[in-house]
Structure 1
Amino acid sequence: MLLLAAAGLFFLQACASTPSSPPPTPKGHPKPYRVNGNWYKPIPHAKGFTQQGIASWYGKKFHGRRTSSGEVYDMYAMTAAHKTLPLGTWVQVRRLDDNRRIVVRVNDRGPFVHGRIIDLSYTGAKELGMVGPGTARVEITALGERRETTEGETFVPVDYYSGQFTFQVGAFSNRDNAERLRAKLEQTFTNAHVVPYDRGDMVFYRVRVGRCNDLETADQYERHLARSGYPDAFIVAE
């Protein structure tokens, strides 16, 4: 018990926070995931990433469904699914046979079909002229995360190993339930707060605690939360 208490004190100090405005929508934390018996490990950043292979596309069957990023899939937006690139990464997709190019944002995981490297939205596929054939050989070049500056548009590689991390303990459709959990958590943990998330069809209230400045400390804090009775808590990057 003394050891656990000491560990708890360390994490409260290491991940202490000062009052601030509600955090922005998280990009997520690249944990390994499993699909059809295969494990996939998202990469920590998109800097220097290129890849050649087969692109496919997905449309009406998935239109309106939730993507891996939490967004609702819009087949008419310029988005894509990739197995390992950080969610939120903008990529250039160049068709190899005619050099046509598009820029899309990765907001989903897939395609989980052997030999295919990216699933484009319907509009992305239409821009590349591959809706009819269904597939095309392409080259992907990661651009990073899009930022607007005074000089125009720029792209910055996403790095998940440094920055601000917090921990999601629960999510509720009822705000009162979220506030009750927040009040309970703030008796033990720092920075207990509620973040509304509009999924499109309904609003969820995400309950989060803690704040760390590096991924190594965040991994330890996540394990501390599990030992403290919150095994489903997970890291999110702000």
Structure 2
Amino acid sequence: MNSGIPVKRICLILTFMLMTGCAGGGHSRTEPMISETSQQGVASWYGPSFHGNPTANGEPYNMWALTAAHRTLPFGTRVLVQSVETGKSVTVRINDRGPFIRGRIIDLSYGAARELAMIGKGTENVRLTILESPSAGSGQLSNGESVMYWVQVASYTTLTQAVSMREQLATHYSNIRLTTVDLPSGQWHRVQVGTFPSQEKAKFVAEELERQFDLDPLLIQVTY
């Protein structure tokens, strides 16, 4: 998985690929990266079947905690999530990656979804406002560990599709890896471009990939 990098902890999206957007033989898609302090779109939620599983930042998922998954916001970011329809709101902390269905912008914990009274509906039109965000561009953590970023271009259920995408990317990027993971939903082949020393550089490449190939990349943070 780490392609030779002496990784102590890899914050990859493992359990989330089961939950949303990973159906059929195509790749998972995401919305364009955001750089503003607010965003509006559709929220979904995930709950009991993921309780106790590791989130993308390494901590166990607690369905009762007020947390959420977002594709690009740094872990630890505090976000106000407000229902456009009812005005109900909840503040969550980002500790996971997702969602992976086009058009959805955040996946809430069960506890956070209850605050918005959206459990029965499953989704809710929401407005996100970033309240507090840790620095995400230095490539160095306070404990001395270093951070690098990969851009996950796409994820496929068939190896031939993944190899084809890797060959297309090879004419534009020199460092491309193909990783395979076995999940309860099946085997997934992930095509990733890297590595980048800051989140901003990774976002720039992700946006270029989106424009060039009509893809919806997501960022993967690697700590070592």
TM-score, normalising length: structure 2: 0.50
- Higher normalized contact order (CA 8 Å, seq sep 6+, divided by chain length): 2
Identity across matched positions, percent: 43
1:102-130 deviations in whole A, cap 9, x for unaligned?
10001000111121111101110000010
Change (3 A) 1:132 1:107: same
Per-residue Cα deviation, 1:117-174 (whole angstroms, up to 9, x for no partner)? 11101110000010111111000111124xxxxxxxxxxx533236545348xxxxxx
- The residue number in structure 2 matching 1:236 is 223
Residue type at the aligned position of 1:158: S
**Structure 1 partner of 2:179:** none
| Unaligned stretches of 5+ residues in structure 2 | 1-8, 12-16, 148-196, 202-220
- 2:188 aligned partner: none
SS at match of 2:49: coil
SS at match of 2:145: strand
Equivalent residue, structure 1, for 2:95: 107
Give the whole-Å Cα distance in 2 for the aligned partners of 1:49 and 1:87: 15
TM-score by length of 1: 0.47
8 Å CA contact 1:77, 1:121 repeated in 2: yes
Aligned partners of 1:56 and 1:116 also within 8 Å: yes
- 4+ residue stretches of structure 1 with deviation over 4 A? 38-43, 162-165
2:145 corresponding residue in structure 1: 166
* Match of residue 61, structure 2, among 52, 55, 73: 73
Deviation of 1:50 after TM superposition, in Å, equals 1.2
Q: Flag the 1:235–1:77 CA change in 2: closer, same or farther, 3 A.
A: closer
1:2-151 equivalences in 2 (<5 Å): 37-38=27-28, 48-145=36-133
- 1-structure distance, mates of 2:31, 2:102: 16
Cα separation, 2, equivalents of 1:125 and 1:41 = 21
**Could you tell me whether the CA contact under 8 Å between 2:31 and 2:105 is conserved in 1?**
no
- Judge conservation of contact 1:47–1:144 (CA < 8 Å) in 2: no
RMSD: 3.7
1:236 maps to amino acid = T
3-state DSSP of counterpart to 1:83: coil
Q: Given the superposition, is the C-alpha separation of residues 88 and 120 from structure 1 closer, same or farther in structure 2, using an over 3 Å criterion? A: same
Equivalent pairs counted in the alignment come to 135
Deviations 1:79-104 (A, max 9, x none): 00011111111100010011111100
Separation in 2 of the partners of 1:167 and 1:40? 27
**Partners of 2:28 and 2:65 in 1: how far apart?**
29
Match of 2:218 in 1: none
Higher radius of gyration, 1 or 2: 1
C-alpha separation in 2, matches of 1:42 and 1:68 = 20
